Amino acid sequence: MHCFACQSAVNPGDSWCSKCGAAVRQRVDPDSERRFVTILRADVIDSTGLVAELDPEAAVSRLEPALAAMRASVRQFGGIVSKELGDGLAAVFGAPIADDNHAPLACHAAIELVRRVASLGDPALQVRVGLHSGHVVAYMVASEFSKVYEIGGAAQHLAARLEQVAEANQIYVSEACQNLADGHVRFEHLGGKSLRGFNQPVPVYRIVGASDLSSWRVRRARSVSRFVDRTTERALLDRATGQARASRQTVLLLGDAGIGKSRLAHEFAQKLRLEGWRLIDAECSPNLQSAPFSTLKRILLSAIDAAAREPGNPGDPLKDLPAIQQSALDAVLDVPIANPQWDELEPHARGRVISDASCAVIRSLASRQPTVLLLEDLHWIDRASDVVVAAIASLAVPDLLVLLTSRPNGMPVWIARCHAEVVAMRPLDDDSGLEMLSDMLGSSEMNADLKNRIISHTANVPLFIEEVCRGLKESGTLRGEWGDLALVRPIDELGIPTSIQGVIAARLDRVSKQERSVLQVAAALGARSSEATLRKIAILPEDALRGCLVSLDRAELLVRIDSELEDSLEFRHEMVRQVTYDSMVEKVREDIHARVLAVFESDETWRDDPDALCYHAMRAKDWAKAFNYGRSAAQKCLVRSAYAEAVDYFRAAMNSLDKTPLTRPRETNAIDLRMEARMAFIWSGRVAEWIDLGKEADQRARQIDDVGRRVAALTVMAGGQNFYGTPTEAVILGEEVVGLAEESGNPGWRNLAQYNLGQAYFLAGRYREAEQTFARARSHLMGPEASAPFGTPPKYTLLLCCMMKSFTHTVMGELDVAEQLQREAAAIADETGRPYDRVAAAYSGGWLMLGRGDPAAAASILEGGFVLAQKHGIRLFVPAVACHLGIAYLEQGLFDRARGMLAEAREEARSVGYTSAVLRSSISLALATNQLGDAQAAQNMLREARNTARQQGFSGLEAEALFGEAVVTPPSREENRTIILSALRAAIAIASESGAKPLLQKAEAMLNGMLAAGDQPT
């Protein structure tokens, strides 16, 4: 523990710092939480110059009026002054009690702050203000004498930087704050500004004034969806309207923010207006809760305006009132009053007259024309207006419908007294939610999965649906116009738009501390949990836990679900879970996950679920357990051929292990883990990362001088080099590794090293050496003591040897031997049933059929392998199988299909980093392109492939490219004939040396034909 002032070490029980004498501040960890808030920073410009020559008391007196104005402005709009800075202050809006209007409130407070300081009449007192919305850690700091609410995090620094660059009496705002307050406040974009501590220019906005738009109009301006459903609620409103013809009816639409109260109320009010009803509409403002009669003033202004539009225009509805009542309403409307009788009234009497006058106006209007009074957001009504609205809602007059909206926490006590019908608003049903999404995204079936995810994520709350879609569009994940949007990239998480974080946080703030702790445990467990599990982790008495669960279910935060498991619980929607989880500081999260981990480890249900155990161990920062469970989860994924998931778990295990203390056993585990992980990286086509595993393992093995593990690491590197590097490099490394492996006496790594070397020889076009090397590895793997490296079954390596040896014999024209090897590979695949083995067998079977001149049979085999490789994410095989499938189509004369498949194969090979597959698919793609009439493009492709193959040492592919050039080059001119003859002779030379007899025979036949005909190729 350290002193906050001088950072000297302080004993936990000390009240004072022994070095500097400062009072020791004790941070209260249980109250710490993450919040999404708006931060206001303000200070007096050049305060040092103002007080430099003054004594301390005079200096305080000089600045205190400005500081008092700042404090009052912050408090007027619900902010908390978190810190005073001598010549300014820092304030926070949206904490400790969440408020979804924190950004507009902060902006209005800043406007009021500047106005108040200017009204002091002291030209030397000029202020500047900075505002930013972002995540902070909020907590109580306790000293011996007081407690202070403080915030921490990078967000406060941006607010401070904006304050520092702001001009005199100006308010600078970040883009995050502007996005949240736009419409409520008017802004001017100042472009990007360089701020200290930020590498890139930061977008900055300046507040130019408050907006007179109502909250409903601001929301409506942002809305991009049409009104859907609400059949039940509209029926209730229709019934109330019918009853209002006989006597006044009051209806309250009750629901949480975003549920659609305002939309329904306005849609219904406009319907009544078209049917001849007069509409008086107003709303309560969060900015004006402390302003007496602010809501009533809006009602009266709307009533006067509605009366002015009445046919025949009977005039101002206030003119027929008694003089004292006219004065009362003039006071509300801020009209000058010259009535001694009004001046003599006591405050209580004035309030009574204002109420009577307001009721008289509404009664008069309803008597002339059916009238609907729509008042929104009753939870923000000021106290003075609340009394008057209660009286209006209790009037006994016909043709008056009082339509109110409120959140559950703001329902006034007088609702029951006025016999109001309360309509509890529910989320949309799934059909209506999908209808809303179709209206915004379009009706394309391509978005069907996304729509279902959004429905699940938002639980059909209309505002949440709209804001999630808006966020996806603004991020570029969805492109197009509203009503016709296309998903252009995968989505891992839908996230929570900043515009609704406060809405959800405000709901969470309404629950008790115990209920919040239960929610936090449930959030750590995931979208679903069980009462039995919560009981073990929450550490609450049984009665308390049951009470919490009942309250949370009633609040529709954590609800019971119909399930075979009677105690199943789930979050009403994923956003509630995310906000709950994100609100916890790291220490609280770690503690909860550690408790979850302990319970899971002792429960047989979870003991065999390494996925869940790894997840909670990592979040509990128990790195040793995270390593073990991550490794187990990766192994489990490999068994079920989930290669991408296996990669993720292996990475988690590697990262976790590296966070444990450095020891030799840790390093040996780290090396072995990378060797084991190689298969997941190989099969999922992560070639560069596969090589990196070998490099990392080699480096660690060198550091601990472990020769055996160095051999393993180099073997892995050599295998990756066959795909990612050049054949020359691969052969050199492969030969070195085979020698080291034989010296080390480890037969498993020797067999794999020999297989890798045979593959390197094959890619280099050294087919005879490849065949001999594969034969040695195969003989070792077929013996009684067959061995392969850990994580690799011997039969898997044997299958690969048979596959590659079959390729080699096919290229050399030894088809009977190739077929025997293919049968062995297919038998192993049938025995193991593993997807990877089946794809490998299909690949070699297709290659053999192409060698036998049966492209239709080859296509049939390769199509099955291609589908299987894609289904199981075996990316390493996808480009290779696709390439040969394209060749099969080409040889059947299906040129369009061939071109499409070969182009796909080339792109996939490039993305994986599979160099030889890029070249092979390019060569065949050129032949397909030539058949479709573009000889020049084919020539260019083949020339590029030939040069690349020659430079990098792929001599077999160089020969194929040369032969392709001879095929596609038109022999019409003498210079072309020379090119063709040269290409054929070069291909023959390479094929003759390498032993590629089929290619040699085709090239020789074409060359002999040309020479015999003189100038015509055959």
Residue 15 DSSP symbol: S
- For residue 121, the cross-strand partners are none
For the cut 70, the answer to whether the pLDDT of residue 6 exceeds it is no
- Closest alpha carbon to 837 in 828, 848, 847, 846: 828
Provide mean pLDDT across the span 49-69: 79
For residue 913, the tally of other CB atoms under 10 A from its CB is 20
CA distance linking residue 991 with residue 1003, whole number of Å:
9
For residue 47, the tally of other CB atoms under 10 A from its CB is 21
CA distance linking residue 299 with residue 285, whole number of Å:
12
- For residue 210, the cross-strand partners are 185
Strands (E), 45-94: 80-84, 88-93
Residue 26 DSSP symbol: E
The pLDDT score that the predictor gives to residue 483 is 87
- For residue 560, the cross-strand partners are 569
Residue 885: how many CA atoms within 13 Å on its side-chain side? 26
Determine contact, residues 253/405, Cβ cutoff 8 Å.
Answer: yes
AA identity, residue 822: Q
The pLDDT score that the predictor gives to residue 563 is 53
C-alpha distances (whole Å) from 631 to each of 659, 676, 682 are 15, 9, 17
The pLDDT score that the predictor gives to residue 490 is 78
The pLDDT score that the predictor gives to residue 23 is 44
The pLDDT score that the predictor gives to residue 386 is 92
Determine contact, residues 350/328, Cβ cutoff 8 Å.
Answer: yes
CA distance linking residue 172 with residue 524, whole number of Å:
38
Interval 630-659: pLDDT, tens: 999 999 998 888 888 999 999 999 999 999
**Which backbone phi and psi does 12 adopt, to 5 degrees?**
-55, -30
Regarding beta strands 400-406 and 371-376, do their DSSP bridges make them parallel or antiparallel, or are they unpaired?
parallel
What's the count of helices (H) and strands (E) in the chain, helices before strands?
A: 43, 19
For the cut 60, the answer to whether the pLDDT of residue 75 exceeds it is yes
For residue 384, the tally of other CB atoms under 10 A from its CB is 17
For the cut 90, the answer to whether the pLDDT of residue 465 exceeds it is no
For the cut 70, the answer to whether the pLDDT of residue 562 exceeds it is no
Provide mean pLDDT across the span 952-975: 89
The pLDDT score that the predictor gives to residue 147 is 55
Query: Where is pLDDT greater, at 971 or 146?
Result: 971
Residue 602: how many CA atoms within 13 Å on its side-chain side? 9
What are the tokens at 552?
């949370």
**611 class by beta-carbon count within 10 Å (0-12 exposed, 13-18 middle, 19+ buried):** middle
- Closest alpha carbon to 166 in 147, 136, 193, 135: 193
CA distance linking residue 179 with residue 185, whole number of Å:
10
CA distance linking residue 875 with residue 983, whole number of Å:
34
Interval 260-297: pLDDT, tens: 888 899 999 999 999 999 999 999 888 788 889 999 99
Query: Where is pLDDT greater, at 287 or 537?
Result: 537
CA distance linking residue 107 with residue 578, whole number of Å:
27
Degrees (nearest 5) of the Cα angle 182, 170, 45?
A: 145
For the cut 60, the answer to whether the pLDDT of residue 684 exceeds it is yes
Give the sign of the dihedral formed by CA 206, CA 208, CA 209, CA 211.
negative
| Omega cis (within 30) before 96 | yes
CA distance linking residue 410 with residue 156, whole number of Å:
31
Query: Where is pLDDT greater, at 466 or 623?
Result: 623
For the cut 60, the answer to whether the pLDDT of residue 22 exceeds it is no
Residues whose CB is less than 8 angstroms from the CB of residue 34 and which lie 6 or more positions away in sequence, other chains included: 135, 136, 137, 138, 582, 583, 584, 585
Provide mean pLDDT across the span 402-406: 93
CA distance linking residue 34 with residue 810, whole number of Å:
65
* Residue listed under structure tokens 């290669």: 643
Confidence of residue 5 (pLDDT cuts 50, 70, 90): very low
Interval 117-151: pLDDT, tens: 999 988 888 899 999 999 888 776 655 444 556 67
Q: What is the DSSP string of 35-53?
A: EEEEEEEEEETTHHHHHTT
For the cut 70, the answer to whether the pLDDT of residue 926 exceeds it is yes
Q: Can you say how many angstroms the Cα of residue 479 is from the centroid of all Cα atoms in its chain?
A: 17
**Which backbone phi and psi does 11 adopt, to 5 degrees?**
-70, 145
For the cut 50, the answer to whether the pLDDT of residue 555 exceeds it is yes
- Closest alpha carbon to 215 in 280, 174, 263, 278: 263
Burial 837-860 (b: 16+ CB within 10 A, else e): bbbbbbbbbbbbbbbeebbebbbb
For the cut 80, the answer to whether the pLDDT of residue 9 exceeds it is no
CA distance linking residue 979 with residue 778, whole number of Å:
42
Residue 254, SS3?
strand
Query: Where is pLDDT greater, at 898 or 216?
Result: 898
Provide mean pLDDT across the span 739-749: 86
For the cut 60, the answer to whether the pLDDT of residue 16 exceeds it is no
The most confident of the ranges 328-332, 411-415, 741-745, 818-822 is: 818-822
The pLDDT score that the predictor gives to residue 467 is 85
- For residue 134, the cross-strand partners are 37
Residues whose CB is less than 8 angstroms from the CB of residue 50 and which lie 6 or more positions away in sequence, other chains included: 44, 62, 63, 124, 125
For the cut 70, the answer to whether the pLDDT of residue 530 exceeds it is yes
Interval 828-883: pLDDT, tens: 999 988 888 999 999 999 999 999 999 999 999 999 999 999 988 888 889 999 99
The pLDDT score that the predictor gives to residue 813 is 93
Provide mean pLDDT across the span 455-475: 86
CA distance linking residue 379 with residue 751, whole number of Å:
76
- Closest alpha carbon to 801 in 783, 775, 832: 775
Provide mean pLDDT across the span 712-726: 86
C-alpha distances (whole Å) from 415 to each of 243, 252, 261, 404 are 18, 8, 17, 10
- Closest alpha carbon to 622 in 649, 651, 591: 591
Confidence of residue 218 (pLDDT cuts 50, 70, 90): confident
For residue 207, the tally of other CB atoms under 10 A from its CB is 23
The pLDDT score that the predictor gives to residue 565 is 54
For the cut 70, the answer to whether the pLDDT of residue 8 exceeds it is no
Provide mean pLDDT across the span 543-557: 89
The pLDDT score that the predictor gives to residue 26 is 39
Degrees (nearest 5) of the Cα angle 440, 446, 451?
A: 50
The dihedral region occupied by 46, where left means phi > 0, alpha psi between -120 and 50, and beta the remainder, is left
Query: Where is pLDDT greater, at 962 or 396?
Result: 962
The most confident of the ranges 224-238, 792-806, 882-896 is: 882-896
For the cut 90, the answer to whether the pLDDT of residue 358 exceeds it is yes
Residue 270, SS3?
helix
Give the sign of the dihedral formed by CA 578, CA 584, CA 589, CA 591.
negative
Least confident span in 30-39, 111-120, 378-387: 30-39
The per-residue pLDDT of the chain, averaged, comes to 87
The pLDDT score that the predictor gives to residue 25 is 42
Confidence of residue 27 (pLDDT cuts 50, 70, 90): very low
Residue 174, SS3?
strand
Confidence of residue 791 (pLDDT cuts 50, 70, 90): low
CA distance linking residue 69 with residue 113, whole number of Å:
6
Interval 174-196: pLDDT, tens: 999 999 999 889 999 999 999 88
For residue 421, the tally of other CB atoms under 10 A from its CB is 15
Residues whose CB is less than 8 angstroms from the CB of residue 545 and which lie 6 or more positions away in sequence, other chains included: 518, 531, 534, 535, 538
Strands (E), 633-774: none
- Closest alpha carbon to 811 in 956, 628, 670, 694: 956
The most confident of the ranges 4-18, 54-68, 807-821, 1000-1014 is: 807-821
**135 class by beta-carbon count within 10 Å (0-12 exposed, 13-18 middle, 19+ buried):** middle
Least confident span in 184-193, 506-515, 896-905: 506-515
- Closest alpha carbon to 396 in 235, 243, 234, 236: 243
Residue 371, SS3?
strand
Residue 787 DSSP symbol: -
Determine contact, residues 653/626, Cβ cutoff 8 Å.
Answer: yes
Residue 279, SS3?
strand
pTM: 0.76
For the cut 90, the answer to whether the pLDDT of residue 771 exceeds it is yes
Determine contact, residues 287/213, Cβ cutoff 8 Å.
Answer: no
% residues pLDDT > 70 (the chain): 94
Determine contact, residues 784/750, Cβ cutoff 8 Å.
Answer: no
The pLDDT score that the predictor gives to residue 153 is 77
